[in-house]
Amino acid sequence: MEIGKRIRLERIINRKSGNTVIVPLDHGVSMGPIDGIVDLRKTINEVAEGGANAVVVHKGIVAFGHRGYGKDVGLIVHLSASTMLAPDPNEKVLVACVEEAIKLGADAVSVHINIGSNTEAEQLRKLGRISRDCREWGMPLLAMMYPRGNGLNQFDEKAVSLAVRVGAEIGADIVKTNFTGSIESFKKVVEGSPVPVVVAGGEKMDSIEDILKMVDMAVQAGANGVAIGRNVFQAENPRKMTQAISMIVHENADWKEALEFLD
């Protein structure tokens, strides 16, 4: 691996555990100023102090989320976008490039690809181009790979395995995807990927216990961490929620210990 990529990856992956806790905060483009991301600086402060290794934001938000104090947190600039009002929200377009992310001080960039969507071919073409640019500039690439569209079950083991493998094959350094529901099934997903896999948080869950159980099972299956947004930044206490998740991801705590910490 190029030295530039290695140095940047060390800023978003815990050296001791080899895992990462990423908090995506890029929802403003797709969903608007929803609860938890209205005041980005406050939210980033909460999750950073809670032990998040990195946050994901769009390029226009970087300046508004930069604190300049407190515990450091890695910066991942998201390059993809679509809104919930689009005729096909699964169609993702590029709204930034690797060079812009470099100028903003990013430690990595991320792209969102929907495998099985009507625009899969174009999205893969863009993933290939971004992967090439990342290699040129020594920039780590987080690929958010999901099986979506055409009646697909986005939690199906085979579909998720395919999506993850596509991301790795085209040059991602880390792949984010859906948890398939069990340790056994997700272990197969991880085994099929030559690069680290992190689990998405998905829709906002009502049960904190369910969130922590998912994180615990994913780590047991071999995941290298999580990339959880709404279930962290919309938690009653985002800082403590980040700490609880970090206990599982970095300290080998189980979900019961993490839940006890939150009580």
Among the options 26, 133, 173, 216, which is catalytic? 26
Q: What is the pLDDT of residues 154-209, one digit of tens each?
A: 999 999 999 999 999 999 999 999 999 999 999 999 999 999 999 999 888 989 99
What is the model's pTM? 0.96
Known catalytic residue at 146: yes
> For residues 175-198, b (16+ Cβ closer than 10 Å) or e, as one string?
bbbbbbeeeebbbbbbebbebbbb
Nearest C-alpha neighbor of 216 from the set 32, 31, 19? 19
Determine phi and psi for 119, rounding to 5 degrees: -115, 25
Question: How would residue 2 be classed by pLDDT, with cut points 50, 70 and 90?
Answer: confident
Residue identified by tokens 């978003």 is 12
User: What average pLDDT does this structure show over 27-38?
Assistant: 95
Q: With a cut of 80, say whether residue 103 has pLDDT above it.
A: yes
- pLDDT in the model for residue 65: 85
DSSP-assigned beta bridge partners for residue 75 = 55
Across residues 228-240, what is the average pLDDT?
97
Q: In total, how many domains does the chain have?
A: 1
Q: Residues 92, 126, 133, 146: which is the catalytic one?
A: 146
- Which CATH number fits the domain that encloses residue 142? 3.20.20.70
Judged against a pLDDT cut of 90, whether residue 68 lies above it is answered with no
89 pLDDT band, cuts 50/70/90, is confident
Q: Which amino acid is at 247?
A: M
Average pLDDT of the chain is 96
- In terms of Cβ atoms closer than 10 Å to its own Cβ (0-12, 13-18, 19+), residue 252 is exposed
Tokens describing residue 38: 């209205």
> If pLDDT is split at 50, 70 and 90, which confidence band does 27 have?
very high
Active-site residue 256, yes or no? no
In this prediction, residue 41 carries a pLDDT of: 92
Active site residue 206: no
pLDDT score of 259 more than 90 = yes
Range of the domain at 82: 3-262
Catalytic choice (59, 92, 126, 176): 176
Which candidate, 78, 86, 98, 70, places its Cα nearest to that of 22?
A: 78
